[in-house]
């Protein structure tokens, strides 16, 4: 049984819903015209055609095209060792597709990743949260209109910065000093004469006052 035969069998079951198989570099791709029918098609592919292993689900952003997104499913069967790729389009307005976690449980994390990176929601997913980015992150980084350099975000509470516990203490570098001696209190001051040492101590005192006595430099502003 070849992948092409299996693809044709799947097409025979659903008729016009599935396009003719396309072969490229020995891989067979089927295009499903209605994303809503994906779970049904996947269930049939798994039960009747032996595609028991879901290798991967991923998404492609065809920015500028309509519909904008494509969701790509890579199916595999241990019985016949054939692979099959299913593709379906999802429009930007909808940005939603039904989940296939009911067919293969491995779809869980793949769908979370697509939601996280591309912003396509999976209806019926048991736990649709961000997975690689943190909870509360506002953007979808793999979209083509997201710049490579990133976008500023208000840092949410999960990614707060606080003064380090030892800041302002004797062994912590003081930010903002003009030379290493001023920044680093542990640096040995060449003890040439008392006058110079006094000047050095005053300088340190000034820096301490500038930053507040016991708390050290305060939390830095998030950089935009």
* CA dist., res. 210 & res. 115, Å (int): 47
Q: Residue 19 Cβ, how far from other proteins at the closest point, in Å?
A: 14
Residues at the interface with other proteins (CB under 8 A): 24-25, 27, 29, 52-56, 58, 60-61, 72, 74, 78, 81, 83, 85, 104-106, 108-110, 113, 117, 130-134, 141-142, 146, 148
In the complex with other proteins, the residue whose CB is nearer, 67 or 217, is: 67
Contact 116, 143 (CB under 8 A): no
In the complex with other proteins, the residue whose CB is nearer, 28 or 38, is: 28
Q: Residue 212 Cβ, how far from other proteins at the closest point, in Å?
A: 30
In the complex with other proteins, the residue whose CB is nearer, 51 or 174, is: 51
- 85 contacts: CB under 8 Å, gap ≥ 6: 27, 28, 29, 30, 72, 73, 74, 75
* CA dist., res. 9 & res. 120, Å (int): 29
- 113 contacts: CB under 8 Å, gap ≥ 6: 131, 132
Q: Residue 188 Cβ, how far from other proteins at the closest point, in Å?
A: 34
Q: Residue 87 Cβ, how far from other proteins at the closest point, in Å?
A: 9
- Where residue 116 falls (left for φ over 0; alpha for ψ -120 to 50; beta otherwise) is alpha
In the complex with other proteins, the residue whose CB is nearer, 89 or 113, is: 113
């Amino acid at each position: 049984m070849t992948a092409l035969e299996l693809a044709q069998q799947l097409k025979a079951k659903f008729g016009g819903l599935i396009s003719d198989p396309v072969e490229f570099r020995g891989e067979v791709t089927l295009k499903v015209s209605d994303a809503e029918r994906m779970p049904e098609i996947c269930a049939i592919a798994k039960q009747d055609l032996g595609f028991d292993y879901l290798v991967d689900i991923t998404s492609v952003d065809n920015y500028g095209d309509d519909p904008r997104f494509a969701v790509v499913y890579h199916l595999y069967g241990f019985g016949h060792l054939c692979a099959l790729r299913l593709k379906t389009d999802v429009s930007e307005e909808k940005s939603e597709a039904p989940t296939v976690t009911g067919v293969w449980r491995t779809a869980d994390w793949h769908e979370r990743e697509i939601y996280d990176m591309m912003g396509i929601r999976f209806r019926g997913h048991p736990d649709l949260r961000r997975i690689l980015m943190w909870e509360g992150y506002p953007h979808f980084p793999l979209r083509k209109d997201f710049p490579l350099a990133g976008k500023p975000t208000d840092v949410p509470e999960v990614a707060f910065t606080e003064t380090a516990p030892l800041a302002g203490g004797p062994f912590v570098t003081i930010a903002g000093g003009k030379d290493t001696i001023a920044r680093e209190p542990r640096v040995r001051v060449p003890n040439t004469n008392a006058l110079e040492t006094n000047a050095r101590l005053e300088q340190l005192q000034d820096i301490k006052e500038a930053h507040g006595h016991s708390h050290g430099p305060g939390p830095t502003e998030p950089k935009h």
